Amino acid sequence: MRTLFCKPTVFERFDRESFRRRLSDHVRRWGIAYLLLIVAAALFQAHYAFGLNASPSLPQRFFLIHKGELPLRGQYVAFRWPGGGPYPAGVTFVKIIAGMAGDAVTRADREFFVNGMPVGQAKTTSRMGLPLEPGPTGILPAGRYYVRAPHPDSLDSRYRLTGWISDAQIIGRAYALF
């Protein structure tokens, strides 16, 4: 029961018919915009994704991934981690393509080269003190890529754990946003 000096409660002020009318007006005014926004989001998600590089392996942290676009040498690639080591299978990694099919990957001691150009030195242990085995060497076969990052602690193709990535692992080309 309301007294003369009390404000009406939310339930007392609620007018169901007024609410329906306002909702109907809102849907008529903004319904098409909401529908277009949902369609645009679905189309975006079908072709693009966002990637976050949580480690210091690359200078950039946030990437736009164009799904299905195969990157060229020197470009960023987003791929699914195959599993093993500190990461579960399916985690998205972003690295730089350093070697492609037909390129020669060689190693002198722990220094790796692609077509004679240095691409990084493999460490003997990880930052956590775990032993690291050097990655494969030889001619990259079709559908295989040597990936790298400029940081000395990057988990890339210098190590057996990562190895050469395959076409099946590639999500697409990654574009650095910031």
Within 10 angstroms of residue 160's Cβ, the number of other Cβ atoms is 14
* The token pair that represents 5 in the structure block: 């000096």
Nearest residue to 148 via CA among 161, 157, 135: 157
Q: What is the mean pLDDT of residues 70-92?
A: 93
Q: What percent of the chain has pLDDT over 70?
A: 92
**Order of strands across the sheet with 111-114?**
117-121, 111-114, 104-108, 138-139
- The set of residues, in sequence order, having a beta carbon less than 8 Å from that of 124 and lying 6+ positions away, is 110, 131, 132
Average pLDDT, the chain: 91
Q: Which fold has domain 48-176?
A: Umud Fragment, subunit A (2.10.109)
| Cα angle, residue 172 at apex, residues 167 and 174 outer, rounded to 5° | 135
User: Which pTM was predicted?
Assistant: 0.81
Element at 106 (helix H, strand E): strand 104-108
User: pLDDT tens for residues 31-59?
Assistant: 899 899 999 988 889 999 999 998 899 99
> Structural domain boundaries of the chain?
10-47, 48-176
pLDDT digits (tens, 9 = 90+) for 97-130: 999 999 999 999 999 999 999 999 999 998 888 8
